[in-house]
Structure 1
């Protein structure tokens, strides 16, 4: 066998494994979520997002595009999500199955992008495949896929994953065009769901591990590099606060800040529990106006102790540091 032939065979074999993993991830995800094709619209939010929304049902028009960018309907500003639903209705009809299918395809795409990003960032092929499989199949993600109104979740995740991939490429190659493309993808993602505002902080964590950029660049440079991302996050947060203050969040104004912090601490620990034991899941978890002070203190202590341990161990196992503080 000639040297060129051996090299080509080696490249094909190296390429073949990721392709096989992607096909396997896509197939398993589709098989697990097949029942969503039989699901219908539900009475919670779906009338606002699709069945009772004439802008979505009539598809893409100039008037509808303008509405998507100026409306605060559903107490959210997410024009990209509205446009996605309009396209769904225009090209695939207004039946529930079509909307479920697109949600599922977006979830499959997100799963594959997560695997490809982990492969690009860490080179860990099989561990990356395992993480992607957990992401695809974990019961905590069922709501985002099977509930049509959660289009904003799977759609914003698509842009989040694309931004991570593009930023990682920038970090590894230094191509400035990749940096600006990641910034653009982040901006679009914020217009799908403003929950992406944490990305600038996640990028700093990724600079620590797996990209290990703190060893090559000054911290000041890495911080300055995130300022455009932070500016977009601030702008999105301001818009969200203005919209929700007008439409949805007035009832929370009467809840003391201390009570909100108690609920936040309890929710963090509860979510960790759901990851390991995903039982008793619900679409809405009622706001606890009378939380147990002891439970709140124990939950806070748990978060502090785990964070301290991760900081200490993270010097030798940096993936724990990035993973834990990404979650927080």
Structure 2
């Protein structure tokens, strides 16, 4: 009898041991991601406010200084401010000011902590998603999740969101957004109404950080696609309906906030014609994609190529044609299950920043807008590295090239974070970039 009991308990002991080992590996990975992120971003902790680049009104304002009074909290929740509505972000400033005053260290520390939290959430999200899809070996799941997270942790294209306080809206919206995604994955397993309601709650909190959160219902459909849910199911669409309604309301609030500042779709402000918006969108997608893969010539300002009412330079016309040709020529590649997921994740989360809908933007591209969208590209990079590692012939070469890539972008991100030290340093960086560009153009003309 005792022998049978011992025999039957053996599988449960093995499962407990396996779970213990997996938990230790996960904890070790998370500690490594934290360490690498701190190594890249510790210069940010000594940065000052950008008093000539938006911090002087985004961070330093009456809402921040009036504290946690009932009237100020109501104002934060209900008022539009300079064409923006981001109460969760403003509340973070108010709380920090109430505790530490205008000490930039604490403001920057919070930004670094939230970025690290987002990196960890991405790692756990990819692991959970791939496990739920049941199409990957355990080794591949861990590898893809880790590589996606490590690239996000050290990529220079994301530095602006972490190093610039006025971009903290991106970090806060992303944090709540990623939590909503995690809870949705739990909902797919449990089907509990409580999980669904938590998704709604964190959707609202994410929008309170930044309007880009309106993409969440489409993102959840992408997750449904990734785990191969049946799109013919009425329940799948029924559960998304409330989220789409909320997203529509959020979109309208965003347009109202911009029109209050006499900008955006609902205002009478001059705007580019629709055909130019398509050209700008094509150019922007290309730039975001290229800089995710090869982060070069990063800047805090990418201006439109022409003023409203002027013609677009001829070279920009090639971008819509180029994208169309690439999409058609490689359609067999794009429609592969995980390739489609990664590319779609990238496009969906850039959607509100691509100028197709006229909104208040003075830059054709902005590094901060790619923060969540980049996860789709980083995932694909990790996915293909994993495939290469499964080929013994190229395993050592793949490991070496991957290590060198991560090391090089990490060093670049560390250096790039330093230009955000203060406004003088930031402006000097742009002057040097413009000088190099002008010198290159003169040299080319002389040839």
TM-score in same-fold range (> 0.5)? yes
- The Cα offsets for residues 62-92 of structure 1, whole Å up to 9 and x where unpaired, read as 1210110222213111111111111121223
Q: Which residue of the partner structure matches residue 318 of structure 1?
A: 337
Supply the distance in 2 between the matched residues of 1:10 and 1:260 (Cα, whole angstroms). Answer: 54
Residue number among 313, 329, 335 corresponding to 1:292 in the alignment? 313
Q: Which residue of the partner structure matches residue 384 of structure 2?
A: none
Give 3-state SS (helix, strand or coil) of 1:75's partner.
coil
Residue number among 103, 112, 118 corresponding to 1:104 in the alignment? 112
- 1:49 has 2:66 as partner: no
The runs of 5 or more residues in structure 1 that have no matched partner are none
Supply the distance in 2 between the matched residues of 1:295 and 1:222 (Cα, whole angstroms). Answer: 40
Give 3-state SS (helix, strand or coil) of 2:143's partner.
helix
Q: Which residue of the partner structure matches residue 322 of structure 2?
A: 302
- The Cα offsets for residues 6-58 of structure 1, whole Å up to 9 and x where unpaired, read as 4432221111111111111011101110000111111211011223x132034
- Contact (CA 8 Å) 1:57, 1:94: kept in 2 or not? no
What is the CA-CA distance between 1:165 and the residue it aligns to?
Answer: 0.2
What is the CA-CA distance between 1:226 and the residue it aligns to?
Answer: 1.3
Bigger mean CA offset, 301-310 vs 234-243: 301-310
The runs of 5 or more residues in structure 2 that have no matched partner are 1-5, 132-140, 348-447
- 1:134 has 2:151 as partner: yes
Q: Which residue of the partner structure matches residue 228 of structure 1?
A: 242
What is the CA-CA distance between 1:306 and the residue it aligns to?
Answer: 4.2
Q: Which residue of the partner structure matches residue 48 of structure 2?
A: 40
Supply the distance in 2 between the matched residues of 1:308 and 1:220 (Cα, whole angstroms). Answer: 32
Supply the distance in 1 between the matched residues of 2:183 and 2:101 (Cα, whole angstroms). Answer: 33
TM-score, normalized by length of structure 1?
0.91
- 1:172 has 2:175 as partner: no
Residue number among 231, 237, 247 corresponding to 2:261 in the alignment? 247
What is the CA-CA distance between 1:232 and the residue it aligns to?
Answer: 1.4
- The Cα offsets for residues 262-313 of structure 1, whole Å up to 9 and x where unpaired, read as 11111111111111221222222112224334533x3223333444466534
Q: Which residue of the partner structure matches residue 228 of structure 2?
A: 212
What is the CA-CA distance between 1:199 and the residue it aligns to?
Answer: 1.4
What is the CA-CA distance between 1:148 and the residue it aligns to?
Answer: 0.6
Looking at CA atoms only, which structure, 1 or 2, has the larger radius of gyration?
Answer: 2
Bigger mean CA offset, 100-109 vs 8-17: 8-17
Supply the distance in 2 between the matched residues of 1:202 and 1:306 (Cα, whole angstroms). Answer: 24
What is the CA-CA distance between 1:59 and the residue it aligns to?
Answer: 2.5
- Contact (CA 8 Å) 1:40, 1:96: kept in 2 or not? yes
Alignment CA distance shift 1:310-1:227 (3 Å):
farther
